[in-house]
Structure 1
């Protein structure tokens, strides 16, 4: 089961020729989620071939570089004959502002657009085998991050033991045992799942902060995360500017990832002052974090592996 991340926009508040405003698309086994929607997001989706059938849009906060792509995307979906409803998840108090973007210029989409306010610390979406959870961040306005947290998967099935030691014929019984059901052989022997199925295996966790200062809530929700995508607008040389604008430095993001014991760290929301050369951001992140650390380019794709596949 794949979980592919496409970094559609990785710039700070001011876009550059190399980096568009904030947007992130996650394709989990064909189900597409969009996190933030800066201006030009629809073109980035076309450019990088992510597909357009997004079911849920998650907004971290109301700053323009995270939401101004919504009107164009809403209307393009309509022009393309969209019928499926769209759910937009937003921080508390944001619904009326997002609604005004959906209906910008007096436009009324022909498909349903449902806007849901969800508070930090809650579940924004409960899907099949996963949840999208919110957590509180610290920016200049009401803001929150989102985490895709998968349920544990069944343990590995010991086919050799099942067939050779226990005499279970290949077929439907294997599936039943793997799903936790007890089966009975023709001779009356009862086989329990734990005889052939190992311990449950953890699912994946992906965390996206949006714009934020380093906060304990990120450390908590990103514990053992397979990928943490964290604000790293500046290097430590601009630490004062980071505090003033409620952003993080690459060093601060690396410290959060280390404290969370995250496996990988993607540094994003890169200030325009590093246009064309994000090397200083990446170097600072790598110096402070022992796991895999990188600054993604616009269009870069990343496959999030299962913990036990590494």
Structure 2
């Protein structure tokens, strides 16, 4: 089952000619999710071919570089004669600001929009075989992060073992894989655990939005396949990062290491680095020995099952 992440916007608060403000698109088997919506996100969606079938928008906080793309996106969806609903999830106490953005042009969209408030520990959305969980982060305003966590998958079915036990090829295979015992013609009962392996973990993607390094991120998902973390500053601006509620690349790498993340993507790079993120990369690599990337706008990642 495909799980694809597209980085639509990877800049900090000030966009650059190469980087748009924050927006992360996630596609999973027909579900299309958007995390944050900085200005110009709808153009990025056109540029990088994601389409506009997003059904859920998850907002980490209401600073402009994370939400000012909402009016443009809503208008574009309306112009495209959208009919299906759009659900927007926002931190508790911030529904009014998002409602104002949805109706910024003093018009009502022709498709339904719901705005729900979420806080740490909530499940913002439940999809088929996965959920999007909410965790608290540490920014200089009310803010949350989101973790997309898939359900456990069934263990592998050992066909060879099943045949050795006398299970005939056919429906009884499916019954066993679904966890039901089956009775053979001679009265022998075969239990699922005899032919089905242990449950296999699903995949997980964690997105922090803007935050200082925090233990809540470590706890959001055990050993995430991908951690997308604020990496606004390099070591030269450690104090500035703390003052403004952001992380350095090194600080994000420490969190990734503690969380057991398999991949770390640093986003939100400050425009003051003029496109040179070599220090970010080098400093993070001193701490994190997993797969590290500082994505450009338009970069895509496929998240595989480790046992595929």
Q: TM-score range by the shorter chain?
A: over 0.9
Counterpart of 1:194 in structure 2 is: 193
Deviations 1:117-165 (A, max 9, x none): 01112111122211111111111110000001111110011011112x0
Partner residue in 1 for 2:303: 304
Partner of 2:81: 81
Would you say the 8 A contact 1:222–1:262 is kept in 2?
no
Hey, which bits of structure 1, 4+ residues long, moved more than 4 A? Answer: none
Matches within 5 A, 1:44-55: 44-55=44-55
- The residue aligned with 1:250 is 249
Aligned residues: 308
CA distance in 2, matches of 1:114, 1:300: 30
Q: CA deviation at 1:51?
A: 2.2
Tell me the TM-score normalised to structure 1 length.
0.96
Deviates more, 1:243-252 or 1:187-196: 187-196
Query: Following the alignment from structure 1 to structure 2, what is the Cα–Cα distance between the partners of residues 74 and 170?
Result: 52
Q: Distance in 2 between matches of 1:222 and 1:151?
A: 12
Most deviating of 255-264 and 33-42: 255-264
Structure 2 Cα separation of the partners of residues 25 and 299 of structure 1: 10
Please state how far the C-alpha of 1:182 moved relative to its aligned partner. Answer: 1.9
Aligned to 1:61: 61
- Offset from partner CA, 1:196-243 (integer Å, 9 cap, x none): 100001111110000000011011114311111100001011111111
Per mean C-alpha deviation after superposition, the further-off stretch among 241-250 and 189-198 is 189-198
- Equivalence for 2:18: 18
Shift of 1:305: 2.0
Contact 2:149 2:221 in 1 (8 A): no
Cα pair 1:18 1:275 within 8 Å, conserved: no
Q: Deviations over 1:79-116 (max 9, x none)?
A: 11111111000000110110111111102011110000
Conserved in 1, the CA contact under 8 Å of 2:224 and 2:262?
Answer: yes
Give the deviation of 1:293 after TM superposition: 0.8
CA distance in 1, matches of 2:86, 2:174: 35
Q: By how many angstroms is 1:184 displaced?
A: 2.6
Task: Indicate if the aligned counterparts of 1:202 and 1:307 stay in contact, CA closer than 8 A.
Answer: no
Offset at residue 274 of structure 1 (A): 2.0
Deviation at 1:172, TM superposition (A): 2.3
Structure 1 counterpart of 2:273: 274
1: CA distance, partners of 2:203 / 2:299: 20
Query: Hey, what does 1:131 align to over in structure 2?
Result: 131
- Which residue of 2 is the match for residue 285 of structure 1? 284
Distance 1:66 1:95 in 2: 14
Is residue 220 of structure 1 aligned with residue 219 of structure 2?
yes
Equivalent residue for 1:265?
A: 264
Rounded Cα–Cα distance in structure 2 between residues aligned with 1:55 and 1:182: 39
Give the SS at the match of 2:55: strand
- CA separation in 1, counterparts of 2:102 and 2:185? 62
Secondary structure of 2:6 counterpart = strand
What TM-score results when the alignment is normalised by the length of structure 2? 0.97
Once the two structures are superposed, what CA deviation does each residue of 1:240-266 show, in whole Å capped at 9, x if it has no partner?
A: 111121110000000111111111111
Q: CA RMSD in A?
A: 1.2
2:163 maps to 1:203: no
The 2-side partners of 1:171 and 1:45 are apart by: 45
Matched with 1:233 is: 232
